[in-house]
Structure 1
């Protein structure tokens, strides 16, 4: 790869690191506000180290080089996530008794909005650590990518192309200039975070708890300020606000922009949004009724508990309201299947995404019609877009390697010695960026702290592959990529 291209990538990474260093001021202010100055040096030194390294990468200025090509954007996207995680882990390492493996795992879980955790005792943990974990979620959602989209056009780099390598949203551009769209996205993201904070506060959380959870829920992350997650709060209003915020974070942010720019029905008319909301409501009703019939919960309580947990898993958020693994084998299978669904493309959610299931169903119907009428010309459309061969090929390729990645990581975890439930659901929850797995170890009532370090590194790789939708990272492993 040409040196000028590497220098430009390094320059952009330097901007990311400086942004990360400045973000560490928030936990510093939080610690001073709570008068917990004993933890302050960890963030001060981490911020200083990160800032100096970022400054070193941009000190020579922006290199004069042509625009980065799409192949360069894949390297930039992958390297930015790895580098940010490497430095984002520093404050945790400087806390007592936290290994770099645990810190990197937690940071990757945060920045990829997975929500798997190795920390316990969150109810009495340092407020600086709690808000840093939530802030990692917030940055790793649409916030951090939005900043990248806003910065890159100034460097004559196609910002929306970077956004598309991070999320396979092939929808139309909502504004003619990508940096304008990025500003809208960031403003919407900030507004939803603020509204979520206010709603959770009014519902029963403290302002600190509300701010943490709003950042965690709008990014569909899942980190909480309590070991019991949402079960710590008994107010139904808290649970329903959480459901709403998770759903808002799982809708396409480009459609929010389109709505603000005058297309009032952009969200309601979108086939993906309709399918997503319809799937959630039907699952709530059916599964909630089943839980009511097979437990002591009245129907309203069963419906609420199911709504929180189902929405959390489908949107890949990972918060929990009680231990749903205790509901029986049927419940375990339902939640395992829901792990793969995901939210909408162009949102902060992970998983396979709703639109892929819809496109696959559309292709199935077309194939069945073709069998009945072999000579008929059957057009294939989704959401008003023709389904050409490139889209179909991309869908099939991604889905295949997505499942292969889960299978390979599960085999690796089993080889290490984990039981099959932990291995399979751990791999699935990492690649789908959900958070908790199933079983007594990594289920909603457990965490990942007892896993061996090798397993944590495997799961960390799975989180990265899942967040960047597998192919963005795998393309870097091909010899053809490095031939210029």
Structure 2
């Protein structure tokens, strides 16, 4: 890499900014009572000073105007900044009252920033408030980072078919658009407004202000961290929520999973852009169908009433499909069919340009189009068939990119599952843990890592493997894998 200065500059600024945000848990713990909160406050204060000092020093050493960022620098900045921020975010978790091990602190921070939601922490109900707010902040920060990465960076790196979403289709250069800062500002304003609205509704319908703040951040970010060991089940009893809190969660999980670029177009007077987008229609239709299937199952076999069954099914399906990972019920008890169904749904994901994860809806659409075109060519060899997405012809490079993404995605999933089985994990735990990590969902299936379980009991080696899988899944695989190709480093 001929010029690594922009990389160091960006990473340094990110670390310093993250260090500054650690002052928020400091203030939260300072306002609380008890020795645990005081110990936690000191850990966040020390971590803040360390991160701001190191980050500012790195940025100062690489200071200078950056006109643009090349594709090569874009790949390196994306992966290196994410890993560096995870290390920085883990620092107060290891130094604080909880005294998490290095492995557990790294796992928890990785799960937070990638908005996965898997956790190794128990006793959340009694943890210091600064610790809880920090976990939620990590997911909120990770969510906005994912949106900006998906809209302003990945399309220009042509990762996994994301070139479909270039803001300017006529741009053929290898530079990230200079106007990305304006786009980021618009997205940030929208993201904050959506979080504030979610907080207000949670608070209005019965959550405490503290719980509402935490859950608003992790709902809009489709992250799933909760302030309660029982997750959202704390606010729901026997399928009946305390007011419409579960409905609010479903609405904002869906909003967080729709393309933020379309929201910006809607605010600029093109409201029809959201409802005419094929990706949005596919996503909403899939959510309705999946909910109907599970609702019918639990109403007919488990004795749920119609209203409670629909609400319970909708909440848990949307939570898993969007990768949020909240649980309002232990769906492990719903039988083999439900477990298999949830396992498949966790890979679906939301829309491109959202906080959601998984394969993404547009890739499923492109894959279906590829299969359809292939079948039509088999039956009519001389017929000219053009696959389309949102009314536009799909370029051959997009087909190839998406299909390769599918192949690599499930190859990595299988590899992670096999690697986890080496730690004597049962098949359900190994498969679901691998799936939930690569799809950034949160809870897996079974008694160990399921909605009623926790990742704390997994061996340290398994946690490091899952941390790597979370990063790969969140950064769309190739953003990380390209760094291991020797030719990448040769100009």
TM-score range relative to shorter protein: over 0.9
In the aligned structure 2, how far is the partner of 1:256 from the partner of 1:396?
A: 28
**Residue pairs, 1:287-436, within 5 angstroms:** 287-436=294-443
The DSSP-based 3-state class of the residue aligned with 1:441 is helix
Cα deviation, residue 177, structure 1: 3.0
Q: Which residue of structure 1 aligns with residue 165 of structure 2?
A: 171
Deviations 1:417-460 (A, max 9, x none): 21111111111100000001111000000010000100000000
For 1:397-476, what aligned pairs fall within 5 Å after superposition?
A: 397-476=404-483
**Partners of 1:142 and 1:24 in 2: how far apart?**
17
Q: Which residue of 1 is the match for residue 41 of structure 2?
A: 40
The CA distance in 1 between the partners of 2:414 and 2:156, in whole Å, is 26
Of 162, 182, 197, the residue aligned with 1:180 is 182
Structure 1: distance between partners of 2:90 and 2:181: 30
Residue 23 (structure 2) pairs with residue 25 (structure 1) = yes
66-75 or 200-209, larger mean C-alpha shift: 66-75
Corresponding position of 2:88:
87
1:273-303 deviations in Å (ceiling 9; x for gaps)? 0000111112112220121000121011011
Aligned to 2:220: 218
Aligned-residue CA RMSD in angstroms? 1.9
After TM superposition, list the pairs within 5 Å mapping 1:229-244 onto structure 2.
Answer: 229-234=231-236, 235-244=242-251
- The answer to whether the 8 Å contact 2:219/2:253 transfers is yes
SS at the partner of 1:89?
Answer: helix
Q: In terms of mean alpha carbon deviation, does 359-368 or 307-316 score higher? A: 359-368
Contact 1:143 1:186 in 2 (8 A): no
TM-score, normalising length: structure 2: 0.93
In the alignment, structure 1 residue 113 sits paired with structure 2 residue 115 = yes
Counterpart for residue 161 of structure 1: 153
Secondary structure of 1:390's aligned partner: helix
Unaligned runs of 5+ in 1: 150-158
What displacement does 1:65 show?
Answer: 7.2
Q: CA deviation at 1:144?
A: 6.9
Matched-pair contact (CA < 8 Å) for 2:202–2:245: yes
- Deviation sequence 1:316-363 (CA, Å, 0-9, x none): 000001110111000110000001100001101110011111111122
Pairs aligned (count): 472
Q: What is the alpha-carbon distance in structure 2 between the residues aligned to residue 329 and residue 169 of structure 1?
A: 39
SS at match of 2:302: coil
The answer as to whether partners of 1:138 and 1:215 remain within 8 angstroms in 2 is: yes
Aligned to 1:55: 56
Give the superposition deviation at 1:204: 1.2
Give, in whole Å, the separation in 2 of the partners of 1:346 and 1:67: 22
Aligned to 2:173: none
2:347 and 2:435 in contact (8 A); partners too: yes
Maintained 8 Å contact 2:146/2:355: no
Render the CA deviation track for 1:48-88: whole Å, top value 9, x for unaligned.
00001101102235247774320221111000000000010
> Which sections of structure 2, spanning at least 5 residues, go unmatched?
169-176, 237-241
Distance 2:209 2:285 in 1: 33
